[in-house]
């Protein structure tokens, strides 16, 4: 029996209706009826077409490209739900845009991730459900509860079925070591690191591989790929160090035109990702998209029932 006294309602912005539909299907409620549209001048118009007074409302909207458009739409949906007297509003943000701008790493730059947290709170969000934030501390930028899921259980299930012998998990940079370590532990695999030096937002200059990848199948894991520079240049150096088959797994595939071209020419035989954002499927890019509707749906159910969310998603031994 649902312990949260009010009825659950799930609505979707225009960023990823297909995922919202699948989540609602998994949870067993109809997707809520809302009009989300743009005026000719580009302003967003939102109207919730059903009663949400006293209801437990979940708004599904990854802030993927067009990032600002999707973020603004989410804020306006939150405002609409709040003014319609929703009992509680949870922003379900499978992919959290701007999460990489999480610190002042040079003079006179913003900490945009903190600004986004403030905007969501100001709009009236009561809690956030998200997945694989670029940096864990972004959850702490909010003064409201944040449930932070991992794609690891979903990707692990798929990789375990492949039953790759002698596998090594590779972090494409020093910052991703902890995440790669979780994968290595879950898969009972070795661990290696590619140490990189970044020239610019689109260009990477790789240095060396720490760990043994010779004659091993490897999987490069990361939270996000956008231009694919990190992944494809890591693959090149891994090949030079004698790696056999090279796979890649990322939680969020926000693929640019440049990424598509790079993957087509790369040593990576399969890119495994999730549908946290609408993923571009292109000929020549060996892509496997795993569905996270159950993961998010289970998170939503547990939030609604006032149950623990974290306990559900942690693989044994995974902190």
Distance CA 225, CA 246 (A): 16
**Contact between 108 and 44 (Cβ < 8 Å):** no
Distance CA 205, CA 103 (A): 23
**Contact between 251 and 224 (Cβ < 8 Å):** yes
Find where tokens 């993957």 sit. Answer: 263
Given the residues 196, 240, 244, 319, select the one marked as catalytic.
196
Q: Strand, coil or helix: what is 161?
A: helix
Tokens of 222: 């990361």
**Contact between 100 and 108 (Cβ < 8 Å):** no
E runs forming strands in the chain = 8-12, 34-38, 44-48, 56-60, 88-93, 127-131, 146-149, 167-171, 190-198, 204-210, 217-225, 246-253, 268-274, 287-290
Distance CA 17, CA 213 (A): 41
Find where tokens 């509680």 sit. Answer: 88
- Residue 47 has φ and ψ, to the nearest 5°, of -140, 125
Crossing angle between the packed helical segments 112-123 and 67-83, to the nearest 10 degrees = 20
196 is a catalytic site residue: yes
Q: How does DSSP assign 140-166, residue by residue?
A: GG-SS-EEEE-SHHHHHHHHHHH--TT
Distance CA 319, CA 314 (A): 7
Report the catalytic residues: 196
């Amino acid at each position: 029996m649902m312990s949260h006294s009010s009825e659950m309602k799930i609505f979707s912005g225009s960023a990823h209706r297909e995922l919202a539909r699948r989540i609602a299907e998994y949870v067993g409620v109809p997707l809520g009826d809302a009009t989300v549209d743009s005026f000719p001048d580009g302003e967003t118009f939102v109207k919730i077409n059903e009663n949400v007074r006293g209801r437990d409302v979940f708004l599904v909207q990854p802030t993927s490209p067009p990032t600002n458009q999707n973020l603004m739409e989410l804020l306006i949906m939150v405002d609409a739900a709040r003014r319609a007297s929703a009992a509680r509003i949870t922003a379900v943000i499978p992919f959290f845009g701007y999460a990489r701008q999480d610190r002042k790493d040079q003079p006179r730059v913003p900490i945009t991730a903190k600004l986004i947290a403030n905007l969501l709170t100001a709009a009236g969000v009561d809690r956030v459900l998200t997945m694989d934030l670029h940096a864990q501390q972004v959850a702490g930028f909010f003064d409201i509860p944040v449930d932070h899921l991992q794609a690891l259980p979903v990707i692990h299930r798929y990789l375990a079925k492949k039953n790759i012998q002698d596998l090594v998990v590779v972090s494409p940079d020093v910052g991703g070591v902890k995440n790669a370590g979780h994968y290595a532990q879950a898969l009972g695999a070795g661990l290696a690191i590619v140490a990189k030096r970044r020239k610019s937002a689109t260009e990477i200059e790789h240095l060396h591989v720490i760990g043994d990848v010779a004659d091993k199948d490897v999987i490069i894991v990361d939270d996000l790929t956008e231009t694919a520079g990190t992944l494809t240049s890591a693959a090149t150096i891994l090949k030079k160090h004698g790696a056999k088959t090279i796979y890649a797994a990322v939680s969020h595939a926000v693929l640019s035109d440049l990424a598509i071209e790079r993957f087509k020419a790369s040593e990576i035989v399969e890119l495994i990702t999730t549908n946290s954002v609408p993923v571009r499927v292109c000929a020549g890019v060996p892509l496997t998209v795993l569905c996270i509707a159950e993961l998010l749906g289970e998170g939503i159910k547990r939030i609604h029932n006032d149950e623990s969310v974290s306990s559900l998603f942690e693989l044994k031994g995974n902190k």
